[in-house]
């Protein structure tokens, strides 16, 4: 095997770099579900930009639309000026996403990252209610800026803040307290004026905790949460940055519960092509921003508006994408379930096309991820102790590609088990 030339990364690039350590090669090109490194070795991508590449790398339909736009000197940087690209995107969000689902929301363009959308959502909820406290959940992940970190669980990430992370109180996520009614603590503290927990502006939740270890909230749990918030005048924020854009089957991950959150955050795959973009959706009466109250230089990434719009129109007109994702997800689930029967000390969980293979011995997950890389498969680990190998293939992966990747994963687990 050729050793990759990585000197400049090791001598010049900051220590903060992360994924390059797990995947020590230099990637060059990519198409669909496949990445190719500079030596021509191919890797099947079951990571998909942490969920930013639901439509695959360099999706040909999106690429052509982007090329046409660039060649035509379409606006690239637009702050929040009105542009043809943004009008097209807003009209498509209305016609393809909102109207068919009976959803009435206003659309905000925050800065182009998930964390920025979360910051905007938290600011708005506090402004509307005049309250400062927020409830979040155990093992949550909402991003790296201070507000987003304050509602994130991971201790190492929190420690990086360098200031106290306050005004947020974590509640047990679905299944966190095994065998206990998950809401008994939350309901009791909310309804006891002397519980010591201030009445919150909002509750922020992921329907499936991606970074937190592929923890899946049941539909009835999400419904109960929505009811509990509504009855108490607490705003419900669903952070759909990773699980939205069809990852769990339907476009919005909360559709499975039949709820309509007060505020929704989207990013990662909303730009379609891996280009930065984020959205905050809010019920119309909650749009209490004053002009420019939340702003940002890169809110108008019009190239992402073009690819995001084409992705919505191409993939989300009709119910085909949802049905295909659920069918492929079932294929993945069956394969993983069979693996847990073969390999003791493993279990699996997931929804749609996000799945985790959980190892009782957490150290095995990192080894499996590392061997998988050598075999030509990219899978990352997640969870409190990085005990979960997380599968996040592009939604456009074919059944053959999924079978191939699952075969490589099986082989990686065999190798790790044999070495034991």
Ligand X SMILES: *Cc1c(COP(=O)(O)O)cnc(C)c1O
Positions touching ligand X (CB under 6 A) are 50, 113-115, 118, 141-143, 206, 210-211, 239, 241-242, 267
The crossing angle, in degrees rounded to 10, of helices 219-232 and 184-191 is 0
- Taking the complex as a whole, the smallest distance from the CB of residue 420 to ligand X amounts, in Å, to 32
**Alpha-carbon distance values, 378 to 9, 27, 28, 34, 372 (Å):** 20, 12, 15, 10, 7
HSE-up of 57 (CA within 13 Å, CB side)? 19
Reduced to 3 states, what is the DSSP secondary structure of residue 1?
Answer: coil
146: enclosing H helix or E strand: helix 146-150
Measured from the CB atom, is 118 or 135 closer to ligand X?
Answer: 118
Measured from the CB atom, is 211 or 387 closer to ligand X?
Answer: 211
- Taking the complex as a whole, the smallest distance from the CB of residue 145 to ligand X amounts, in Å, to 7
Neighbours of 289 (CB within 10 A): 18
- Taking the complex as a whole, the smallest distance from the CB of residue 125 to ligand X amounts, in Å, to 15
Beta strands in 64-154 (DSSP E): 106-108, 134-137
Measured from the CB atom, is 152 or 348 closer to ligand X?
Answer: 152
Measured from the CB atom, is 93 or 392 closer to ligand X?
Answer: 392
Q: Which residues pair with 36 in a beta bridge?
A: 29, 42
Give CA angle at 41 (35, 46), nearest 5°.
35
- Taking the complex as a whole, the smallest distance from the CB of residue 249 to ligand X amounts, in Å, to 17
Strand 134-137 with 168-171, pairing = parallel
- Taking the complex as a whole, the smallest distance from the CB of residue 141 to ligand X amounts, in Å, to 5
- Taking the complex as a whole, the smallest distance from the CB of residue 69 to ligand X amounts, in Å, to 23
Separation CA 314–CA 65 (nearest Å): 11
- Taking the complex as a whole, the smallest distance from the CB of residue 312 to ligand X amounts, in Å, to 19
Measured from the CB atom, is 50 or 406 closer to ligand X?
Answer: 50
Separation CA 401–CA 393 (nearest Å): 9
Q: Shortest Cβ contact with ligand X: which residue? A: 114
- In total, the chain counts a number of residues equal to 420
Side by side, the strands of the sheet bearing 346-351 are 346-351, 354-359, 388-391, 380-382
Measured from the CB atom, is 143 or 300 closer to ligand X?
Answer: 143
Separation CA 256–CA 250 (nearest Å): 8
- Taking the complex as a whole, the smallest distance from the CB of residue 142 to ligand X amounts, in Å, to 5
- Taking the complex as a whole, the smallest distance from the CB of residue 343 to ligand X amounts, in Å, to 28
- Taking the complex as a whole, the smallest distance from the CB of residue 136 to ligand X amounts, in Å, to 11
In sequence order, which residues have a C-beta less than 8 Å from that of residue 209 and are 6 or more positions away?
137, 139, 140, 141, 173, 215
Measured from the CB atom, is 247 or 335 closer to ligand X?
Answer: 247
Measured from the CB atom, is 56 or 153 closer to ligand X?
Answer: 153
369: enclosing H helix or E strand: helix 363-375
Measured from the CB atom, is 107 or 371 closer to ligand X?
Answer: 107
- Nearest C-alpha neighbor of 389 from the set 349, 331, 351: 349
Measured from the CB atom, is 143 or 249 closer to ligand X?
Answer: 143
């Amino acid at each position: 095997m050729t050793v990759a030339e990585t000197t400049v990364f090791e001598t010049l690039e900051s220590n903060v770099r992360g994924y390059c350590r797990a995947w020590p090669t230099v990637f060059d090109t990519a198409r669909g579900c496949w990445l190719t490194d500079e030596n021509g070795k191919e890797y099947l991508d079951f990571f998909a930009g942490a969920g930013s590449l639901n439509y695959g790398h360099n999706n040909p339909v999106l690429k052509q639309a982007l090329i046409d736009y660039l060649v035509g000197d379409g606006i690239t940087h637009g702050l929040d000026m009105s542009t043809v690209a943004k009008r097209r995107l807003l009209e498509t969000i209305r016609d393809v996403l909102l109207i068919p689902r009976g959803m009435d929301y206003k659309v905000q363009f925050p800065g182009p990252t998930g964390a920025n959308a979360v910051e905007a959502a938290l600011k708005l909820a506090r402004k509307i209610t005049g309250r400062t406290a927020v409830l979040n959940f155990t093992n949550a992940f909402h991003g790296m800026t201070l507000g987003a970190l304050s509602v994130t669980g991971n201790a190492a990430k929190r420690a990086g803040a360098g200031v106290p992370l306050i005004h947020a109180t974590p509640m047990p996520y679905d299944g966190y307290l095994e065998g206990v009614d998950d809401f008994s603590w939350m309901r009791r503290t909310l309804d006891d004026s002397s519980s010591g927990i201030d009445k919150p502006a909002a509750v922020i939740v992921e329907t499936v905790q991606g970074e937190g270890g592929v923890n899946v909230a049941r539909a009835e749990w999400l419904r109960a949460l929505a009811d509990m918030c509504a009855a108490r005048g607490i705003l419900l924020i669903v952070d759909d940055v990773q699980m939205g854009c069809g990852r769990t089957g339907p476009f919005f991950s909360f559709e499975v519960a039949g709820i309509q959150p007060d505020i929704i955050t989207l990013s990662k795959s909303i730009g379609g092509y891996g280009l930065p973009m984020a959205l905050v959706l809010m019920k119309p009466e909650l749009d209490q921003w004053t002009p420019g109250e939340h702003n940002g230089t890169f809110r108008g990434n019009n190239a992402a508006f073009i690819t995001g719009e084409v992705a919505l129109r191409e993939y989300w007109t009709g119910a085909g994408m949802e049905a295909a994702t659920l069918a492929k997800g079932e294929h993945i689930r069956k394969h993983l379930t069979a693996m847990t029967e073969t390999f003791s000390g493993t279990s699996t969980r997931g929804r749609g096309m996000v799945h985790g293979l959980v190892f009782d011995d957490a150290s095995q997950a990192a080894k499996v991820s590392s061997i998988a890389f050598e075999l030509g498969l990219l899978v990352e680990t997640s969870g409190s102790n990085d005990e979960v190998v997380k599968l996040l293939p592009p939604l456009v992966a074919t059944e053959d590609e999924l079978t191939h990747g699952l075969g490589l994963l099986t082989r990686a687990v065999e190798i790790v088990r044999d070495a034991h």
